């Protein structure tokens, strides 16, 4: 009960089991179902990539919440009926279902889940997330010109030790990074021109951007964030038909040997800032 997460896990199962006891009037069966439900939830978290870890601490907290809810329900029934709500039939059915369900869950855990020491796993996860967020803070300052405190990071595991980090900055934009390669897959900046980025791109111009300046801005960005794209890659510069002077740059490197994206598209704003990048044909991770 020392952490907020544990207290929330306890509180989650109290009303569920309490209301179930009042509804079904079978406290032992409800207690059995509550314990099996929390075990099933942890099993699903262990075998499915849901961004949650299977934790013995969560199992204990949910079980405690279920027990408390059943206890409160028994007290409430006794106050209303003035008689003991437990019956022999409820006890037999509840104990039997708990035994059978417990054996099935134990077998499923033994087959599908590789046990890891909880403290070591939690420390490794915190260290990984700290390293990722530290690097992302610097990347955001480079990409957008200033740091961002309100980022949302969605972590998707794509292979052992490899992740895809989807970063959402709200109205400022978003980007996707492969980890631990620290390589961009997508980038979008939604603010109007006006800031100077640390990659050297210039915003705030009102004139029409020519193809040469657009190419220079794109080359600087790609050279920094996509170093696997060779200097000799084929580049096509196409002006946008919006009357504002923006350009789309397409980088193709057929001789890259599979080390980088097959095609890279970058959109340069009229002010000379790269505001969107998409890598097509990114090498498969793992």
| Element of type H or E holding 86 | none
- In angstroms, rounded to a whole number, what is the distance separating the alpha carbons of residues 94 and 117? 32
The structure tokens listed for 207 are 């004139």
- Strand extents, DSSP E, the chain: 152-159, 162-168, 173-179, 183-189, 234-239, 247-252, 263-268, 274-280
Q: Give yes or no for a contact between 144 and 124, defined as CB atoms under 8 angstroms apart.
A: no
> How many helices (DSSP H) and strands (DSSP E) are in the chain?
6, 8
The answer to whether residue 285 sits within a structural domain is no
Last residue of a domain, one of 99, 115, 131: 115
Tell me, yes or no, whether 105 and 244 share the same domain.
no
Tell me, yes or no, whether 154 and 275 share the same domain.
yes
User: What pLDDT, on a 0 to 100 scale, did the predictor assign at position 200?
Assistant: 40
Residues in the chain: 286
**Please, which residues have CB within 8 angstroms of residue 136's CB and are 6 or more apart in sequence?**
151, 153, 165, 167, 177
Candidates 167, 159, 174, 158; CA nearest to 132 is 167
Domain hosting residue 30, numbered range: 4-115
The answer to whether residue 216 sits within a structural domain is yes
Tell me, yes or no, whether 195 and 82 share the same domain.
no
The answer to whether residue 286 sits within a structural domain is no
Tell me, yes or no, whether 32 and 127 share the same domain.
no
Q: What number of other Cβ atoms are within 10 A of residue 206's Cβ?
A: 9
User: What pLDDT, on a 0 to 100 scale, did the predictor assign at position 172?
Assistant: 84
* pLDDT means over runs of 10, the chain (286 residues): 73 91 91 90 76 73 91 90 83 90 87 67 80 90 80 84 88 89 88 45 52 87 80 80 76 63 83 86 50
pTM of the model: 0.52
Tell me, yes or no, whether 273 and 142 share the same domain.
yes
Maximum distance among all Cα pairs of the chain, rounded to whole angstroms: 88
User: What pLDDT, on a 0 to 100 scale, did the predictor assign at position 255?
Assistant: 59
**Please, which residues have CB within 8 angstroms of residue 58's CB and are 6 or more apart in sequence?**
5, 6, 9, 38, 42
- Strand extents, DSSP E, 106-161: 152-159
User: What pLDDT, on a 0 to 100 scale, did the predictor assign at position 20?
Assistant: 92
């Amino acid at each position: 009960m020392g952490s907020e997460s544990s207290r929330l896990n306890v509180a989650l199962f109290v009303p569920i089991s309490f209301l179930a006891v009042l509804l079904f009037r079978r406290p032992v069966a409800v207690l059995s179902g509550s314990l099996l439900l929390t075990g099933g939830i942890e099993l699903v978290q262990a075998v499915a990539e849901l961004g949650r870890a299977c934790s013995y601490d969560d199992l204990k907290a949910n079980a405690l919440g279920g027990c408390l809810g059943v206890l409160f329900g028994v007290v409430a029934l006794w106050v209303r009926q003035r008689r003991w709500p437990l019956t022999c039939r409820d006890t037999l059915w509840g104990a039997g279902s708990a035994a059978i369900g417990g054996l099935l869950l134990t077998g499923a855990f033994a087959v599908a889940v590789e046990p890891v020491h909880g403290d070591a796993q939690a420390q490794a996860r915190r260290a990984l997330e700290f390293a990722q967020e530290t690097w992302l803070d610097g990347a955001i300052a480079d990409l957008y010109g200033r740091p961002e405190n309100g980022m949302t990071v969605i972590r998707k595991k794509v292979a052992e030790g490899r992740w895809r980090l989807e970063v959402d900055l709200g109205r400022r934009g978003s980007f996707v990074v492969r980890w631990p390669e620290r390589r961009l897959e997508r980038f979008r900046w939604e603010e109007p021109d006006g800031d100077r980025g640390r990659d050297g791109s210039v915003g705030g111009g009102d004139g029409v951007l020519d193809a040469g300046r657009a190419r220079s801005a794109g080359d600087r960005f790609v050279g920094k964030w996509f170093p696997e794209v060779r200097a000799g890659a084929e580049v096509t510069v196409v002006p946008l038909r919006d009357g504002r002077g923006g350009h789309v740059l397409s980088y193709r490197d057929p001789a890259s040997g599979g080390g980088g994206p097959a095609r890279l598209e970058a959109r340069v704003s009229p002010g000379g800032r790269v505001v969107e990048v998409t890598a097509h044909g990114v090498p498969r991770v793992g």
